[in-house]
């Protein structure tokens, strides 16, 4: 067991008022992570909902950490105050996974996806049904071979279920009344990512995917936020790789999902390609949300640089097509996410048609670009 002595934080105790109310998914002690990250690789309470220490030999599973008590609790500041500035002056940590060790998990990919040959894969909404039916009809009329749908639509909030029972009566093609190819996206809410990463849920997921029968799906995801402590990133990376090894037993073609996190991006991309992935994808929702376009451009540039050594296709998801640099293909629902809710239905459909045509055109132009960015700049 490794013992880490706590140094004096420059953060004043006065900032840790026990009267502070902590709302769901909010933490006013985020600054502590700046110190935990480089010095201790500890978790404070930023990602409390998934972390808990269990004292098992050479294994850390933070599912019951004291910081887990911070969820929806006005005692959050009191807990941290007592633990860090009170009687307990040492924190015990077990094995923290090394990045080099994480990528030693070896297996042969059973069903690598060979590529879309389609520059834009439109993502659809499942509700209301009238909108879904109109969107699918638009995609059919555009002569596209693939559409995308998020696994999030089918996930159940019931802890005893994975896929909602009403979606397990028939496969996705019959549910959507669509004869084309379906891409199932797994960049979903953290709470659902966490559910799929649990060992006891992996086999159930595989069995339920046999019912859904998507033609291709992205591999599993987790929280890989840029601002989170380094330790959490490594811990989650280890869990994702183990879960994807289990997912490899399904009979569904897979696309390697790679979060745009500078700490792991290069190594994870190399690892995915060595496993046999022919197509990889990068979710850019958070990057675009915080307008971190420099990171986006460097990430895409690195993908382009890597294509000089490996033959693969890459897909950017949750982002509108843009023509700044070369990209193989995009997938998003931006074509239907304009401010059209107040319009008459037929007018709304006409806007969707125009938006889809624009997205297809931009994606094709992007695939013809020669400009690339150096990842290391």
Q: Which whole number is the average pLDDT over 243-259?
A: 94
d(CA 359, CA 335): 7
Q: Does residue 140 or residue 200 have the better pLDDT?
A: 140
Distance set, CA 369 to CA 47, 320, 324, 328, 363 (Å)? 40, 16, 8, 10, 10
Is a pLDDT exceeding 60 seen at residue 15? no
What share of the chain in percent tops pLDDT 70? Answer: 70
Local confidence band at 7 (pLDDT 50, 70, 90 cut-offs): very low
DSSP single-letter state for residue 233: H
Q: What is the pLDDT of residue 223?
A: 80
CB 315 within 8 A of CB 278: no
d(CA 62, CA 43): 9
Is a pLDDT exceeding 50 seen at residue 349? yes
Local confidence band at 191 (pLDDT 50, 70, 90 cut-offs): confident
Residues 6+ apart with CB under 8 A from 88: 82
Is a pLDDT exceeding 90 seen at residue 233? no
Is a pLDDT exceeding 80 seen at residue 227? no
Q: What is the pLDDT of residue 72?
A: 30
Q: What is the pLDDT of residue 230?
A: 62
**Could you read off the pLDDT of 321-334 as tens digits, one per residue?**
988 889 999 999 99
Is a pLDDT exceeding 50 seen at residue 58? no
Is a pLDDT exceeding 60 seen at residue 345? yes
Is a pLDDT exceeding 50 seen at residue 121? yes
In the three-class reduction of DSSP (H, G, I as helix; E, B as strand; rest coil), residue 171 is classed as: coil
Highest mean predicted confidence (pLDDT) among 188-202, 273-287, 340-354: 273-287
**Could you read off the pLDDT of 83-98 as tens digits, one per residue?**
444 444 333 333 457 7
Q: Does residue 232 or residue 100 have the better pLDDT?
A: 100
Q: What is the pLDDT of residue 243?
A: 94
Distance set, CA 15 to CA 10, 11, 18, 271 (Å)? 11, 7, 9, 43
Q: What is the pLDDT of residue 96?
A: 56
| CB burial readout 318-335, b (16+ within 10 A) else e | bbbbbbebbbbbbbbbbb
In the three-class reduction of DSSP (H, G, I as helix; E, B as strand; rest coil), residue 2 is classed as: strand
Is a pLDDT exceeding 80 seen at residue 78? no
Local confidence band at 189 (pLDDT 50, 70, 90 cut-offs): confident
d(CA 152, CA 190): 10
DSSP string, 64-89: S-GGGGGTT-TTHHHHHHHHHHSS--
Residues in the chain: 377
Picking from 261, 219, 237, the residue whose alpha carbon sits closest to that of residue 109 is: 219
**Could you read off the pLDDT of 199-225 as tens digits, one per residue?**
889 999 999 999 999 999 999 998 887
Q: Does residue 127 or residue 169 have the better pLDDT?
A: 169
Q: Which alpha helices (H) appear in 28-142, and where do they start and end?
A: 31-35, 76-85, 99-102, 129-141
Structural domains in the chain plus CATH codes: 2-96 (no CATH), 120-366 (3.20.20.105)
Q: What is the pLDDT of residue 186?
A: 96
CB atoms < 10 A from the CB of 207, how many? 13
Q: Rounded mean pLDDT of the chain?
A: 76
CB 242 within 8 A of CB 207: no
Highest mean predicted confidence (pLDDT) among 10-19, 155-164, 210-219, 233-242: 210-219
Is a pLDDT exceeding 70 seen at residue 338? no
Q: Does residue 209 or residue 298 have the better pLDDT?
A: 209
Residues 6+ apart with CB under 8 A from 350: none
Residues 6+ apart with CB under 8 A from 126: 132, 149, 153
d(CA 11, CA 15): 7
Q: What is the pLDDT of residue 63?
A: 41
Q: Which whole number is the average pLDDT over 38-59?
A: 35
Place of tokens 């995915």: 272
Local confidence band at 372 (pLDDT 50, 70, 90 cut-offs): low
Q: Which of 22-26, 165-169, 240-244 has the lowest mean pLDDT?
A: 22-26
Is a pLDDT exceeding 90 seen at residue 147? yes
CB 293 within 8 A of CB 304: no
Q: What is the pLDDT of residue 132?
A: 95
Q: What is the pLDDT of residue 118?
A: 95
CB 229 within 8 A of CB 91: no
- Order of strands across the sheet with 181-185? 120-122, 329-332, 313-317, 279-283, 253-257, 216-218, 181-185, 146-150
Per DSSP bridges, beta strands 120-122 and 146-150 are unpaired
């Amino acid at each position: 067991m490794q013992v880490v002595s706590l140094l004096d934080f420059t953060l004043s105790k006065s900032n840790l008022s026990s009267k502070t109310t902590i709302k769901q998914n909010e933490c006013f002690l985020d600054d502590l992570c700046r110190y935990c990250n480089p010095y201790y690789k500890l978790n404070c309470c930023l990602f409390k909902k998934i972390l808990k220490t269990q004292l098992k030999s050479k294994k850390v599973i933070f599912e019951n950490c004291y910081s887990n008590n911070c969820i929806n609790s006005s005692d959050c500041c009191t807990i941290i105050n007592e633990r860090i500035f009170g009687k307990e002056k040492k924190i015990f940590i077990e094995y923290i996974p090394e990045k080099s060790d994480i990528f030693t998990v070896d297996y042969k990919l059973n069903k690598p996806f060979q590529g879309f040959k389609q520059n834009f894969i439109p993502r659809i909404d499942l509700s209301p049904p009238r909108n879904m039916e109109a969107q699918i009809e638009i995609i059919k009329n555009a002569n596209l071979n693939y559409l995308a749908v998020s696994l999030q639509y089918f996930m159940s909030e019931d802890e005893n279920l994975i896929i909602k029972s009403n979606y397990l009566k028939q496969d996705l093609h019959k549910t959507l009344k669509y004869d084309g190819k379906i891409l199932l996206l797994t960049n979903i809410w953290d709470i659902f990512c966490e559910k799929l990463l649990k060992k006891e849920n992996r086999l159930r997921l595989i069995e339920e995917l046999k019912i859904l029968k998507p033609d291709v799906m992205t591999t599993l995801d987790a929280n890989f936020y840029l601002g989170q402590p380094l330790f959490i990133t490594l811990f989650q990376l280890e869990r994702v790789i183990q879960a994807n090894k289990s997912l490899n037993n399904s009979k569904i073609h897979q696309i390697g999902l790679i979060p745009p996190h500078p700490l792991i991006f290069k190594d994870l991309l190399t690892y995915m390609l060595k496993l046999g992935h022919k197509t990889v994808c990068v979710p850019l929702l958070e990057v675009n949300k915080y307008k971190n376009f420099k990171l986006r451009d460097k990430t895409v540039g690195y993908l382009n640089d890597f294509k000089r050594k490996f033959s693969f296709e890459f897909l950017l998801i949750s982002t509108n097509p843009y023509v700044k640099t070369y990209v193989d293909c995009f997938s998003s629902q931006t074509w239907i996410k304009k401010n059209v809710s107040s319009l008459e239905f037929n007018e709304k459909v006409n806007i969707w048609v125009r938006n889809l045509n624009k997205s297809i055109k931009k994606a094709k132009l992007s695939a013809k670009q020669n400009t690339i960015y150096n990842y290391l700049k």
